[in-house]
Structure 1
Amino acid sequence: MKLQQSVLCATLFASSLVLTGTAAAQSQQNQTQQHRHSAYNYASVGVADHDGGDSIVVEGSYEFKSPYFVSGYYRNFDNDAGSSADSLSAKLGRYFWLNSGLTADVGVRVGRVDFGPVDSNFWGVEANLRQRVDQFEFYGGLGWVDYTDAGSDNQYQFGVNYYIDSNLSVGVGYQDSEYGDGVRFRGSYHF
């Protein structure tokens, strides 16, 4: 039941982000066209299968002044023991064009995570590489996170996104998050 409520909340939140993104994209078209990188302007919903449970992730990113962007996520984790935990994070980053279709980004993030009996704030740094080849975007990254009440952790991610068109993509990846390693599936709307 809790998972169904989480899915409903995540769907409503993602829908509102998509509608907001659509309205913002339409108003931008009426203004001077500005180059935006689709990898840093999106709203997405995903599911991840971790070592000890499953999570639903709602993410978003916005390039507020090229090449700077803000991003964030909300993750609801249901562990195999039957309890639930939440995580919330925000990131400020900058990306760099390295070559045709190849970008790198670096960022600093902060957030709060519920580890069950322990809640902890955290901060961290991360770097990612993205290579776009036709409709495919391959990515990989490394990060370091310091939890105020739970030590520190090295994290990583890698995967591929397939762009159905310029506004929609689906992806699969593998990542180490605050709740452990896991395979992640997601759908994204890019604006």
Structure 2
Amino acid sequence: MSDHIDHIATIADADSEAFEEDVIPEASQLAMTHFWVFALVALAVLPWATVPGKRDLGWVQEPWSWPFITLSFGLIGGFGPLRAYLRDRRKPGFSAKASLAFEGMGRAMIYALGFMAYIAGVAFLGFTIASVIFMQSLLYISGLRGRRWVVTGLAVVAVIVLAFRVGLGIWFPLPPVMQLFPDWVGNSLGEYL
């Protein structure tokens, strides 16, 4: 047995100076600039993305108030890295170092796109069918491809559907895909799909 133990990064390591040395300033500036632009766009569409509350409880409890406050603080706090990015972006080698900000994000982007497809699929296929497809896709992408994982994924979806439908009594409208089948299919299975 080896006496050598590899060091695994922990939350406590984030406070150490050695951890800070691993952060590439150009990559940090680029990532912060992306977040800053996202916060600016989110703040710009906030009036159309929220509706007034149904009860008059004061501005602090309006649906727009806390997103407005946090996005504003994000814009103020991110202004320094944005200025640094705008100042340094034309330096030689900046873009090569900055591109490291998104290194290794391919799989995360695949999961994010899969989740967006799942949300769109719920509207057309219904909660159950979209959930089965999404769960099986996640398992496949993760490399969990054996029969045991297929059955586990189906069981998890069944438990979630029963929890929503039976336990919580949450029912969704009949999915549009049911219009492709005879009426008896929608009448007998529609409420669980």
Confirm or deny a common fold (TM above 0.5): no
Task: Please indicate the TM-score interval, normalised by the length of the shorter structure.
Answer: under 0.3
Q: Which has the higher strand share?
A: 1
Q: Which has the higher helix share?
A: 2
The TM-score, its normalising length taken from structure 2, stands at 0.21
